[in-house]
């Protein structure tokens, strides 16, 4: 166990050459196919998405280290938008520059957007949703096992000292009691920064402000644009209004799918008169389909204005994520070179892992509902522990078992 003094020492300076993004010479086709596959099988929300990316890119492909993945996740959690999608975009940027950023993000979103669009078509045509409960019955227990394995592997990097362990426990407790995720993350980073302040040189440049102006400026611009649209496009909901509404949501939203519901209710039900029952159906579709829950926008856009409405809503809600990652990506190597920001990121990493653990506990209470689901989770965990395999196959096997096994 580390001593108190060992935690207070500043982190070793990283090698800038090792931290900088490689030239965009990676096989873009491989990058596209990998994220298309992940976008097709990543059930379970952001925690599961992070776990599957850790398995794919750290354990199997070795494109990243655990530390690099945690740094990307920490920054993604501190900017608006879907954090797991932003993590995918960061990985694409790290692997192949701006082209990789566009390919990774688009391919991760595309399968879910297409599936949600098909469900929206069925919903508009038949007035109901296809049944997916049987598939989710088998997928959810396997996803719990995958997440737990990822927490264990990432935890060995994120929680290296007693102080980081204390920060993680405090962050988990605060999240469990209902504290806002962004507040938990920022306070955890500041706590570790203060704890290490005695060993950080006074002339070290503070780089945290570099992450703040971009989200604030983008949010201000989209809020103004949405307000302008509201005054110039009364009455029928036009494609421009749909786009600007979802652009605003994507620029301002932090947090989970439940926070997304609150934002969408304000923007759509209260301001545009969208039926609340259809909004709840849209959020349900976003939760039960693989990939980002933000594809809820695809469903709503289709209900509002057909296929073009689905397209502009999807582009609107995800566009800020691409812009913000493109702005923040070049600064990631510099953040670790600053002792202040390195301490802040260490606190963010520990808190991010704690937030994932709390979400996993909540997911487990809904996923492990009977003896078969407990057995599936235990078997999946044992396979991952003793005979590591591609977790995607386990998720698919869980879906098949969910269809085959009898359940209520």
385 φ, ψ (degrees, to nearest 5):
-80, -45
C-alpha span between 294 and 298 (Å, rounded): 8
C-alpha span between 239 and 65 (Å, rounded): 42
CB 119 within 8 Å of CB 299: yes
234 φ, ψ (degrees, to nearest 5):
-70, 165
Residue 102 predicted with pLDDT over 90: yes
CA-based angle 351:291:394, to the nearest 5? 85
Give the orientation angle of helix 133-158 with respect to helix 46-53, to 10 degrees.
60
Q: What is the pLDDT of residue 408?
A: 56
Residue 206 predicted with pLDDT over 70: no
Instruction: Please report which confidence band the pLDDT of residue 129 belongs to, taking 50, 70 and 90 as the band edges.
Output: low
Min mean pLDDT across 15-24, 66-75, 275-284 is at: 15-24
Query: Would you say the C-alpha torsion 161, 162, 163, 166 has a positive or negative sign?
Result: positive
253: closest CA among 83, 87, 80?
80
Instruction: Please report which confidence band the pLDDT of residue 25 belongs to, taking 50, 70 and 90 as the band edges.
Output: very low
Instruction: Please report which confidence band the pLDDT of residue 255 belongs to, taking 50, 70 and 90 as the band edges.
Output: low
| Token pair for 235 | 């009455």
Tell me which of 269 and 65 has the higher pLDDT.
65
Residue 284 makes CB contacts below 8 A (sequence gap 6+) with: 129
Q: What is the pLDDT of residue 98?
A: 92
How many C-beta atoms lie closer than 10 Å to residue 17's C-beta?
7
C-alpha span between 290 and 299 (Å, rounded): 14
| Token pair for 52 | 């599957």
Rounded mean pLDDT, 226-254: 69
Q: What is the pLDDT of residue 236?
A: 55
C-alpha span between 287 and 283 (Å, rounded): 6
Instruction: Please report which confidence band the pLDDT of residue 405 belongs to, taking 50, 70 and 90 as the band edges.
Output: confident
**Alpha carbon 83 to chain centroid, angstroms:** 3
111: closest CA among 145, 85, 131?
85
3-state SS assignment for residue 82? coil
> What's the mean per-residue pLDDT of the chain?
78
Instruction: Please report which confidence band the pLDDT of residue 233 belongs to, taking 50, 70 and 90 as the band edges.
Output: very low
Residue 40 makes CB contacts below 8 A (sequence gap 6+) with: 111, 290, 291
- Enter the DSSP assignment of 129: -
b/e per residue, 19-45, with b = 16+ CB within 10 A? bebeeeebebeebbebbebbbbbbbbb
Q: What is the pLDDT of residues 344-390, one digit of tens each?
A: 878 887 888 888 788 778 778 878 888 888 999 999 888 887 876 76
Residue 7 predicted with pLDDT over 80: no
Residue 212 predicted with pLDDT over 80: no
287: closest CA among 142, 112, 122, 124?
112
Q: What is the pLDDT of residue 257?
A: 53
Express as a percent the part of the chain with pLDDT over 90.
Answer: 20
Min mean pLDDT across 5-9, 30-34, 127-131, 393-397 is at: 5-9
Residue 259 predicted with pLDDT over 90: no
C-alpha span between 87 and 78 (Å, rounded): 12
C-alpha span between 363 and 237 (Å, rounded): 36
- Within 13 Å of residue 211, how many CA atoms lie on the same side as its CB? 21
Helices (H), 159-275: 162-176, 181-195, 213-232, 239-252, 257-264, 271-272
Residue 337 predicted with pLDDT over 80: no
| CA-CA-CA-CA dihedral for 207, 208, 210, 213, to nearest 10 | -160
Residue 29 predicted with pLDDT over 80: yes
Q: What is the pLDDT of residue 31?
A: 93
Q: What is the pLDDT of residue 227?
A: 46
52: closest CA among 374, 356, 390?
390
Min mean pLDDT across 96-100, 259-263, 322-326 is at: 259-263
| Token pair for 192 | 């570790």
Largest CA distance in the chain: 65
pTM of the model: 0.68
Rounded mean pLDDT, 311-320: 95
Tell me which of 164 and 403 has the higher pLDDT.
164
Tell me which of 261 and 308 has the higher pLDDT.
308
Q: What is the pLDDT of residue 254?
A: 65
* H or E element at residue 97: helix 83-126
């Amino acid at each position: 166990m580390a001593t108190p003094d060992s935690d207070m020492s500043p982190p070793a300076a990283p090698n800038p050459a090792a931290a900088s993004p490689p030239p965009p010479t990676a096989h873009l086709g491989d990058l596209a196919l990998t994220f298309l596959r992940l976008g097709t099988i990543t059930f379970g929300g952001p925690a599961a998405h992070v776990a599957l990316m850790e398995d794919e890119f750290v354990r199997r492909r070795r494109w990243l280290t655990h530390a690099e993945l945690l740094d990307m996740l920490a920054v993604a959690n501190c900017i608006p938008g879907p954090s797991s999608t932003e993590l995918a975009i960061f990985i694409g940027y790290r692997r192949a520059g701006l082209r990789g950023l566009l390919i990774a993000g688009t391919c991760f979103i595309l399968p879910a957007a297409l599936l949600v669009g098909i469900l929206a078509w069925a919903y508009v045509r038949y007035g109901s949703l296809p049944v997916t409960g049987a598939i989710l019955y088998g997928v959810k227990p396997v996803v719990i096992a995958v997440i737990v394995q990822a927490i264990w592997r990432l935890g060995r990097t994120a929680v290296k000292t007693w102080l980081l362990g204390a920060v993680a426990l405090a962050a988990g407790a605060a999240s469990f009691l209902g504290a806002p995720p962004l507040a938990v993350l920022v306070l955890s980073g500041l706590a570790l920064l203060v704890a290490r302040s005695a060993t950080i040189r006074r002339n070290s440049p503070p780089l945290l402000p570099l992450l703040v102006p971009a989200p604030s400026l983008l949010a201000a611009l989209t809020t103004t644009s949405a307000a302008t649209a509201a005054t110039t496009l009364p009455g029928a909901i036009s494609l421009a209004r749909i786009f600007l509404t979802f652009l605003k949501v994507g620029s301002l939203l932090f947090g989970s799918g439940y926070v997304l519901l609150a934002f969408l209710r304000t923007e759509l039900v209260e301001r545009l008169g969208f039926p609340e029952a259809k909004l709840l159906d849209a959020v349900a579709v976003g939760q039960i389909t693989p990939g980002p829950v933000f594809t809820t926008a695809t469903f709503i856009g289709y209900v509002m204005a057909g296929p073009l409405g689905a397209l502009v809503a999807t582009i609107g809600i995800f566009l800020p994520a691409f812009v913000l990652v493109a702005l923040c990506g070049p600064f990631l190597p510099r953040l670790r070179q600053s002792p202040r920001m390195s301490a802040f990121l260490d606190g963010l990493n520990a808190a991010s892992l704690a937030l994932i653990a709390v979400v996993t506990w909540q997911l487990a209470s809904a996923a492990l509902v009977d003896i078969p689901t407990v057995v599936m989770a235990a078997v999946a965990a044992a396979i991952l522990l003793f005979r590591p395999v591609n977790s995607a196959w386990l998720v698919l096997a869980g879906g098949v078992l969910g269809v085959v096994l009898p359940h209520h």
